[in-house]
Amino acid sequence: MKASVRAWMGGFAAMLVLVCSHGYAQTNTTVEVTVHADRPGAIIHPEIYGQFAEQLGHGIYGGIWVGEHSATPNIRGYRKDVVEALKAIKVPVVRWPGGCFADQYDWRDGIGPRDKRPVRMNASWGGEDDNRFGTHEFMDFAELIGAKTYLSINVGTGTPREMSQWIEYITADVHSSLAQERRANGRDKPWKLDYVGIGNEMWGCGGSMRPQFYADVYRQYATFVHAPEHAPIVRIASGANADDLGWTDTAMSMAGSQIDAISLHNYTIPTGDWKHKGSATEFGEAEWMSTLQGALRMDELIARHSAVMDKYDPKKRVGLAVDEWGNWTDQDPSAGDAALYQQNSLRDALSAAITLDIFQAHADRVRMANIAQMVNVLQAMILTDQSKMVLTPTYYVFDMYKVFQGATYLPVNVQAPAYRFGNVSVPGVHATAGRDATGIVHVALVNLDPHHADTVHLMLPGIKGSDVHGHVLTAPEINAINTFDHPDRVKPAAFGGAIFKQGVVTAVLPPKSVVVLDIH
């Protein structure tokens, strides 16, 4: 027996042990996936893996910022454990301070000595904000974790003058009064400001505007985004709510020449009812299916909005920034004042994976995405409680998928049986692929069926390789979570159940799993 075959049989046997030990049903279902390396697509912008941090609940305070004198280990006031975890997944960009909060935010409240900053009501999410976390804290935080900066500008209650002065305060390398004020507040060198979002959800909490009115407002604000010549700023228009194609059409037709990117917001509500969204942990297969079905809707939304954009921008100069997305469930009953705090299960991990697959398939148009949110809010990467921290299943998907940042997208074709529950069905297996700068091909495979394993034949015409290895993320239950007492229930493990032979990789996908393969 050849060594390669023996190795494959050993890995395959190990995979079957994993499958059987978790009580999974083994089937003869076969899935064929073809990676078209001969038809390389667009570069997968790292910013697709962006994050979002809003001034609400415990997302900032206690989640990112604890202050220099906190008993929680920190780096100049930033939680050391959170900083290290975010650096590990190579967070490319962070959006702040909102969200709805942005359109009531006065940037001057968040500069100067922290003990002298004003305390303001948080009209969007309740409670108060003492502004300990402001411009300097955000810009330094992004610099600390190696991320680009994305400011959401106050259009709803602000003015173009306020925006222009905020940008000058951050970016000016001259001796203007604003630059000198920044220096007096402790920052001599200007920061790099990468993106500005001109308003947030202007059709709703940002001002209840009609698209025609907002298009004119956008043009006004965009005129006064003055950036240093050597450090241009990308201007992002406040875009549509889910499937409101008319908003995108109006914005592109009236202001497209001044738009660098336009946003899109879409949340998946397991029950479909905003008043009773469903539990993050207490759910059955019906809500498992509805959540995955909702996540898959992102493909249709992007395709339809991109088609509208193509009417005015056929060369795809304008990017699509899906700068709020994720699963939104009912707040955890034990959360207290931690607004929008919810747990995070294997269901969230799989829905995140298939959403990222969709973004990569549309890499020619999607230039940024920001999951909502980074810490302690909605579909978070990280949960904290005082000095304790736990990484969520969604965090681990971002960790596994970081190999795709900056890779060249390789189109995939998947032939897989449907996963069915009741009268609803979705394709049972999803995939994405990319070739990184070193030539390694990465393939992600997601099995949405919570009951059955699949044998995948992965065809790789034109790809030369002799070695394949990877990682798998799964758990025994669809609602499995990581807790502070049991932080490793849902965590990637080495995947040994694959062999590369004669241009084909054969692998067994466990039920309800995410597998990422690296092919050399």
Instruction: Tell me the C-alpha distance between 382 and 373, whole Å.
Output: 9
Which member of 137, 168, 287, 324 is catalytic?
Answer: 324
324 a catalytic residue: yes
End-to-end Cα, the chain, rounded Å: 23
Instruction: Tell me the C-alpha distance between 194 and 306, whole Å.
Output: 23
Are 13 and 382 within 8 A, CB to CB?
Answer: no
Q: Rounded to the nearest 10 degrees, what angle do helices 245-255 and 285-312 cross at? A: 30
Give the DSSP H or E segment for 240.
strand 234-241
Q: Nearest 5°: phi and psi at 317?
A: -70, -40
CB-side exposure of 162: number of CA atoms within 13 Å?
Answer: 18
Which member of 54, 137, 201, 287 is catalytic?
Answer: 201
The Cα-based distances of 274 to 57, 247, 268, 271 in angstroms read: 19, 22, 10, 8
SS3 for 140-189 is HHHHHHCCEEEEEECCCCCCHHHHHHHHHHHHCCCCCHHHHHHHHCCCCC
Instruction: Tell me the C-alpha distance between 99 and 474, whole Å.
Output: 32
Are 380 and 89 within 8 A, CB to CB?
Answer: no
Instruction: Tell me the C-alpha distance between 35 and 33, whole Å.
Output: 7
Which residues, other chains included, contact 143 with Cβ-Cβ below 8 Å and sequence gap of 6+?
A: 191
Instruction: Tell me the C-alpha distance between 359 and 355, whole Å.
Output: 6
Which two tokens mark 22?
Answer: 């978790």
201 a catalytic residue: yes
Instruction: Tell me the C-alpha distance between 483 and 491, whole Å.
Output: 12
Which residues, other chains included, contact 513 with Cβ-Cβ below 8 Å and sequence gap of 6+?
A: 446, 447, 472, 473, 474
Give the DSSP H or E segment for 429.
strand 429-435
Catalytic residues: 201, 324
